Amino acid sequence: MNACPPGPDDASRSALLGALVADAVAMPVHWYYDQRALDRDYGPIDGYREPRSPHPDSILWRSQWAPPSPQFDILRDQATHWGKRGVHYHQFLAAGENTLNFRLAVELFEFVRRHRDYDPERWLDRYVAVMLEPGWHRDTYVEEYHRHFFTNLGAGRKPINCGVRDIHIGGLVPVPALVAALGPRHPDLRRIVRVHVGLTHKDDEVLAAADAFVRILVDAIPRPEAGPRTAAEAAAALRESILEHGRDWISAAKLRSWEGLSDRQLVGGTLSSACYIEEAFPAALALAWRHAGNVAAGVCGNAMCGGDNCHRGAVVGGLLGATAPIPAPFLAGLSCGAKVSAS
């Protein structure tokens, strides 16, 4: 592909679009840990697909949550699918649709753009409102941090105090949305990212990963005065940024030692494909590193690794989308794409 990477004015928006693309591509194979089952059910993933049932690795059969009262029920009609085997986490989504956390990221992007500022308490009011709005989303699975938040809210805590210590990479999903809404040169961006992620994920490692993620994004997006970059220059800049700002998570020596491994040997073999930030964030950075300059290869490779590929996709797709062209078919088929492009 000879198209130029995104310019400095639209790269931050492309970071959000890249994250959304990565999530939608991974959605049907989210939390597949048996890669043979993934291949059997879907074959090579090269675009958007509808989820199929049954999901062989679904753990919804042992997942339970009871709302503190009907007023705070965030599962509603989806609760009937919990406690059953084989239920796909995203069974009612169509090809190209985004999972719940990424729907919230789009809502956050629109919210900040609309108000031209970020206010955590005002955002929490919006978060509570959409989570309790019937039909706002059609996801069957609702992550732990949402459930803990609404349990605490129902117990009488103020929304600002309802977050819990959560160690999952899903906490990084809002980062590209904030960068896109506020701009990569916003003087208070890092603090705002930390405040926002900390509303739901009060964990030092997740907060450190969010800060590293935003620093990589900001550094990889060219400044207006620097002029356009070639595709090769943009890919090199992303790799340099990953090494510079992700050094607490990944190193050049580790990357060299992984060069002979396939994506699946790396993520799911050497590094866990699960959701825990300790290995999920390095896994995402490694995939972004090796696929720098190639959005399609990166988001599809991430999906084919299985595990928590949707939430890893916030990092993989966000970094690749900010620094390389997103193929037109991915943008055309992305349900939430128009909301981001038009805001």
What pLDDT score does 225 carry?
A: 78
- Is residue 156 assigned to a domain? yes
- Is residue 241 assigned to a domain? yes
Residues 6 or more apart from 157 whose CB is under 8 A from it? Answer: none
Backbone angles phi, psi at 164, to 5 degrees: -135, 170
What pLDDT score does 226 carry?
A: 78
- Is residue 123 assigned to a domain? yes
**Segments in 223-305 forming alpha helices (H):** 231-245, 252-257, 263-266, 277-290, 295-304
Q: Mean per-residue pLDDT for 179-193? A: 96
Among 208, 237, 225, 263, which residue's Cα sits nearest to residue 322?
Answer: 237
| Cα dihedral: 30, 31, 33, 35 (round 10) | -10
- At 231-290, the pLDDT tens digits run 999 999 999 999 999 999 999 999 999 999 999 999 999 999 999 999 999 999 999 999
Which residue reads 């490694």 in tokens? 286
- Is residue 342 assigned to a domain? no
Chain centre to alpha carbon of residue 3: 25
Q: Which pair of tokens denotes residue 260?
A: 């002979």
Q: Looking at the 3D structure of the chain, how many domains does it have? A: 1
- Is residue 338 assigned to a domain? no
Q: Which pair of tokens denotes residue 218?
A: 């900001």
What is the domain extent for residue 151? 11-333
What's the rounded Cα separation, in Å, for the pair 260 and 131? Answer: 44
- Is residue 114 assigned to a domain? yes
Instruction: Say if residue 89's pLDDT is above 60.
Output: yes
- Is residue 229 assigned to a domain? yes
Query: What confidence category does residue 341 fall into, taking pLDDT thresholds of 50, 70 and 90?
Result: confident
Provide the 8-state DSSP code for 334.
Answer: -
- At 99-131, the pLDDT tens digits run 999 999 999 999 999 999 999 999 999 999 999
- Is residue 182 assigned to a domain? yes
Q: Exposed e or buried b for every residue in 53-66, given b needs 16+ CB within 10 A?
A: eebebbebeebebe
What's the rounded Cα separation, in Å, for the pair 261 and 263? Answer: 6
Backbone angles phi, psi at 201, to 5 degrees: -125, 90
Assign residue 27 the CATH number of its domain.
1.10.4080.10
